[in-house]
Amino acid sequence: QVQLVESGGGLAQPGGSLRLSCAASGSISSINIMGWHRQAPGKQRELVARIFGGDNTYYTDSVKGRFTISRDNAKNTVFLQMDSLKSEDTAVYYCNARQSPFGSGGSWGQGTQVTVSS
């Protein structure tokens, strides 16, 4: 299991930006899928964005056009650039590494809190 450590969370105003980082203990080039998930109080953890198979990307509808996932294989790091933040983006954000898109498996980071408030 690869170890993942998230950073970059914090407080932002509506319309502001944050950049989350996920540092992996090993090479991410050997992992099929790297992704970001989030969990708000009272809700299930949801998939936010994924990067896979030759820099293909997926975004959940609520963040399309505002969030961008990217990776730097040389630094074994995955990023989530979050722009035009909304209050509903408030959640704990988790990095995930897995080989299959099914289920809740793979390796998870400890999470980083993102709070969007004026």
| pLDDT(97) > 90 | yes
| pLDDT(113) > 90 | yes
Among candidate residues 111, 107, 87, 89, the one with its CA nearest the CA of residue 98: 107
Digit-coded pLDDT (tens) for 75-85:
999 999 999 99
Digit-coded pLDDT (tens) for 30-82:
888 999 999 999 999 999 999 998 789 999 999 999 999 999 989 999 999 99
Structural tokens at position 12: 């932002």
- Average pLDDT of the residues in 99-114: 92
Q: What value does the mean pLDDT of the chain take?
A: 95
Neighbouring residues of 15: CB distance < 8 A, sequence distance ≥ 6: 84, 85
- Residues of the chain with pLDDT > 70, as a percent, come to 100
